[in-house]
Amino acid sequence: MQKISPFLWFDDRAEEAAEHYTSLFPDSRIVHVQRYGEAGPGEPGTVMTVTFELAGQQFIALNGGPQFTFNEAVSLYVDCTSQKEVDELWEKLGAGGEEGPCGWLKDRYGLSWQIIPRTLTDLLSDPDPVKSDRVMQAMLGMTKIDIAALEAAYEDAASDEGASGAGDEE
């Protein structure tokens, strides 16, 4: 077991959520299911916790009841390598959930996810503030992140700089 694991409180769908999540990511699996005993507080024999791995990262899900719910203060960030990966995860994690701005969504269980292509991070890290600002402006207008639109904003900033610099020489 890893030293620190995210612990996710579900009302009563922890096992269902863990099975859904592990179906979406490579190198994922259910590790252990622990059931409530006679001492409770849940119904004896029902799922208490599910330990699972997503892309090698361990999580624990609890069926703890309705006292607590997820909110956007905590989200799971997914580093995507392609638009195809963004599109697939957006569709599968978002099914039955709710789309949010800037690559955020809530899944059907209420858990918040950030589905972010590495390209966004790379373009926002450009040392040229005009280019990175254009990319930020483009991203702020998106729900699901569109890599081609980010790259277009980046290239537009580069061509604007070239055009403005061309007339400065005398």
C-alpha to C-alpha distance for 151 and 169, rounded to whole angstroms: 28
Annotation: CATH topology of 1-68 = 3.30.720
Pairing mode, strands 7-10 and 57-63: parallel
Could you tell me the maximum CA-CA distance found in the chain, to the nearest angstrom?
87
Indicate if the pLDDT at residue 106 is higher than 90.
yes
Arithmetic mean of pLDDT, 42-57: 96
Is omega for the bond preceding 6 within 30 degrees of 0, making it cis? no
| pLDDT value at residue 163 | 58
Domain with CATH 3.10.180.10 in the chain: 70-162
Arithmetic mean of pLDDT, 70-84: 97
In angstroms, the Cα distances linking 154 to 33, 39, 74 are 47, 60, 30
Domain spanning 70-162, CATH architecture = Roll (3.10)
* DSSP-assigned states of every residue in 91-102: HHHHTTSEE-ST
| pLDDT value at residue 1 | 72
Indicate if the pLDDT at residue 48 is higher than 70.
yes
CB 131 within 8 A of CB 139: no
Indicate if the pLDDT at residue 17 is higher than 90.
yes
Lookup: tokens for 74 = 């905590």
Domain with CATH 3.30.720.100 in the chain: 1-68
Q: How confident is the model at residue 164 (pLDDT cuts 50, 70, 90)?
A: low
